Every structure is written in structure tokens, then in C-alpha cells.
Structure 1
Amino acid sequence: MRAYTSKEELKDEIKKTYTKFIAEFDNIPEEMKDLRAEDVDRTPAENLAYMVGWTTLVLKWEQDERNGLEVKTPSDQFKWNQLGELYQWFTDTYAGLSLHELRTKLDTNIQRIYGMIDAMTGEDLFAPHRRKWADGATKSAVWEVYKFIHVNTVAPFGTFRTKIRKWKKLML
């Protein structure tokens, strides 16, 4: 997993990968958002719903901890061994929205993640054991907060961009 040396470097990488990812949806017609392509595991709407879901959770974890609440990762309703059910919940909750609404929600979440990064000290972001939710989310590994941000933004933006490009090649 990539390591970052500063908040700005992390935010720049999110911006770079997000900009490329979200631009892939520019020419997808709304009426095609739910069409499934062979060998592509998510429709365009499901792709965005997944990203909205995970970025919403990252923001919730941080907000809940700041509010003094006990944070249950990945969510109050699902455990780590129930990710398939969580992904289905993302689809059920968000994929019915229009592509414009999904893009707007994701953009809002990304802007809020930038704010979350800015509000943290460098130590909170890059040092271990600075958030209970980050410590509680893994059984044996020690993950700093930035790793959770990376895994729920930069990494899937790259992977999902490839998938949506393949979908477009087959469908458009």
C-alpha cells in the first residue's frame, strides 16, 4: 500500500484518482446506468453506490468518534465477515439514485474527506493508535487513519476506473 508523507500528498492523490474516475461517467446515459456488462461485476450505478457507501462510512467513523460514540466498523449493521451483505446494502440504498445524484453525493463526500484530513494533525493521520475506530477495525494489523482513507478512495478509484472503462467499451 502506498505511503504518504503529508496531508497535501494524500489529498493530491485522492484528487488525481477521483478526477479520472468520476470523468468516466460523463458520457454514460442515465438510461444505461443499471445495465450489466459481461465480465464486469458492477453496473455504473452500483459502482458509484459502492464508492458513496464506503466514503460515507469513513466519514461516519470519524464523526462518531469525535462525538464520543462507540464506533462499530464496518457499520452498526454489518461485521467484517458480512461484506457481501454490506455491498448489497450500498446497492439497495444508493444505486436507485440518478447518476447525477450519485456523483453529487460522492463529490460531497470527497470534499468532506478533504476537510477531515485538514482537521486532523499529521500525527492523527499518519501515526498508529490515534483513532479507536482505526484500531478496532483490524484484528491484528495496525493501520493508521490514512490507510483507511487510501483504501476507500485512491485504491478503488483506480480499480473501478478500469472496470467502468471496460463497461463503456462493451456497452457504448
Structure 2
Amino acid sequence: MQTYQDKEDLKSEIRKTYDKYIAEFDEIPETLKDERCEDVDRTPAENLAYQVGWTTLLLQWERDERAGRQVHTPSERYAWNRLGDLYRWFTDTYAGLPLRELRERLDANVADILAMIDTMSEDEVFDPHRRKWADEATKTAIWPVWKFIHINTVAPFKTFRAKIRKWKKNVL
């Protein structure tokens, strides 16, 4: 897994990978947002819905902890052994929205994640055991907050960008 020197390095990589990812949707017309492609597992709307879903959850984990509420990872409704159901919930909740609105929601979530990083110290981002939600999210691994941020931003922005590029090659 990629590592980071500090918070600014992490934020820079989020911005860079997000800008490339979201730009892939510039030429996709609304009329094709639900178009399936044999070689790609998600439509453009589902692709964005997945990203909106995970970034929303990440922000919710932090909000809940800061408010003193119990955090349920990955969500209150779904345990880790029901990720398929969670992904269907993302699709059912978000994929019906227009591409413009999905992009706006994801833009807002990414901006909020960058702001969230700013509110944390370097230690809170990079040292383990600084957030209960991060400690309780995995049974065996000890992950600092940055890893959760990375796997819900940078990593999927890269892999899902490749998927949407493949979709565009086959459909547009």
C-alpha cells in the first residue's frame, strides 16, 4: 500500500487522483449513465454511487466519534460480512441521481475529507489507536486513520478511473 510523508502529502494525492477520476465523467452524457458494458462491473452511475457511499461512511465515522456516539463500521445496517448488501444499498440510494448531483455530492465529500484531515494532528492521522472507529473496524489489523482514508479515496479513485476509462472505450 502506498504511504505518505505527512498530511499534506496525503491530501495532495487525494486531490490529484480525485481530479483525474472525476474528469473521466466530463464526456459521459446523462442518457448513458446507466449503460452496462460487458467488461466493466459497474455503470457510470454505480461507479459514482460506490464512491459517494464509502466517502459518506468515512465522514460519518469521524462525525459520530467526535459527537461521542458509537460508531458502526462499515455502517449501522451492514456488517463487514455483508458488503454485497452494502454495495446494493449504495446503488439503490445514490445511482438513481443525475450524474451532476452524484459529482456534486462526491466533490463535497472529498472537500470534507480534506477538511477533516486538516482538523487532525499528524499523530491522529498516522499513528494507530487515535480513533476508536479505526481500531474497531478491523478484528486483527491495526490501521491508523490514513489507511482508511487511502482505501476510501486514493485507491478506488485509481482503480475506478481505470474501470470508467474501459467503460468509455466500449460505450462512447
Q: TM-score, normalised by structure 1?
A: 0.99
Runs of 4+ in 1 over 4 A off after TM superposition: none
Give 1:5 shift.
1.4
In the alignment of these two chains, the number of paired residues is 172
Counterpart Cα distance in 1 of 2:4 and 2:144? 11
Partner of 2:46: 46
Q: In the alignment, is residue 124 of structure 1 matched against residue 130 of structure 2? A: no
Counterpart Cα distance in 1 of 2:70 and 2:122? 23
Partner of 2:95: 95
Give 1:2 shift.
1.1
Partner of 2:37: 37
Q: In the alignment, is residue 20 of structure 1 matched against residue 20 of structure 2? A: yes
Give 1:128 shift.
0.4
Give 1:82 shift.
0.3
CA RMSD between the two structures = 0.4
Counterpart Cα distance in 2 of 1:80 and 1:22? 27
Give 1:168 shift.
0.3
Amino acid at match of 2:51: M
Q: 3-state SS of the aligned residue for 1:61? A: helix
Partner of 1:8: 8
Partner of 1:84: 84
Give 1:68 shift.
0.1
Counterpart Cα distance in 1 of 2:165 and 2:111? 24
**Percent of aligned positions with the same letter in both sequences?**
67
1:25-79: CA deviation from partner (whole Å, max 9, x where unpaired): 0000000000100110000000000000000000000000000000010000000
Counterpart Cα distance in 2 of 1:7 and 1:92? 34
Partner of 1:62: 62
Counterpart Cα distance in 1 of 2:164 and 2:144? 30
Gaps of 5+ in 2: none
Which stretch of structure 1 is more off in the superposition, 40-49 or 2-11? 2-11
Gaps of 5+ in 1: none
Give 1:94 shift.
0.2
Partner of 2:161: 161
